[in-house]
Every structure is written in structure tokens, then in C-alpha cells.
Amino acid sequence: MEQAKRPLSAKGFDVINLVVWLIGFVVYRLFMSIDTPVENTLPVLVITALICVVANKTIRGEKDAKNNA
């Protein structure tokens, strides 16, 4: 028997993505003092996106591997 999915509002916070957001905020503040040709928003978005992908794949991948073992 399949378990009913909970709505997104009932799931709570995603701690991994909250930490990634905080890292992105800190990186943005650090980049405010650096002058780049594309300003600071684009490089910070790319850096934060890469951190998010790596963090979610490694941490969630480890959890999935443990659950399937």
C-alpha cells in the first residue's frame, strides 16, 4: 500500500539548502568588495549553484546508499 505524500508545507525546512543559502549570502558579502566585469551577482549565483548541486548529491547520495543497503 502506498503512503500518501505530504504537502510541501508540512515537510519543514531543508537544512542542507538553508546552509547553502547562508554560504551564498556570505560569499555575496565577500564579493561586494571585488570588482568583476560582470559585477558580483552572477559569479556568486554560479558558485552557490555549484555548492548546492555538490552538497545535495553527496549528502543525499550517502543517505540513499545507507537506505538501500
* pLDDT above 90: residue 5: no
Residues 9-62 pLDDT 10s: 667 788 999 999 999 999 999 999 988 888 899 999 999 999 999 999 998 777
Boundaries of every domain in the chain: 39-69
- pLDDT reported for residue 54: 95
CA 18 – CA 29 distance, rounded (Å): 17
- pLDDT reported for residue 63: 67
Contacts 24+ apart (CB under 8 A), 15-19: 16/55, 16/56, 16/59, 16/60, 17/52, 17/56, 19/55
- pLDDT reported for residue 69: 61
Give the pLDDT band of residue 68 (cuts 50, 70, 90). Answer: low
CA 31 – CA 41 distance, rounded (Å): 8
